[in-house]
Amino acid sequence: MLRELDPAVPWVGLALEGLALLEDPQALALLERLQARGTAVRISRESQLFPLEPGPFEIMEDSRWQRLAGRGDITIL
């Protein structure tokens, strides 16, 4: 799904189980390519409680994605 992500999507946020992508070399490379083409990749701030390295990605306040999710304005995978 990430390989076919519409370039108009402004950002991808990783939280909860999505953080497992940071441990997969292929997924990490894909996320880095998305960021290089201009799609921001953001990591949930609360996820920083877990021992994962966010790499070159921006930290995102959880209230931002949770508010959007509550309104049905984002897709959560």
pLDDT, tens only, 38-74? 999 988 877 766 666 667 787 888 888 888 887 778 7
pLDDT > 70: what percent of the chain?
87
CB burial of residue 13 (10 Å; 0-12, 13-18, 19+): buried
Q: Alpha-carbon Rg of the chain, whole angstroms?
A: 12
Q: Which residue has the higher pLDDT, 58 or 7?
A: 7
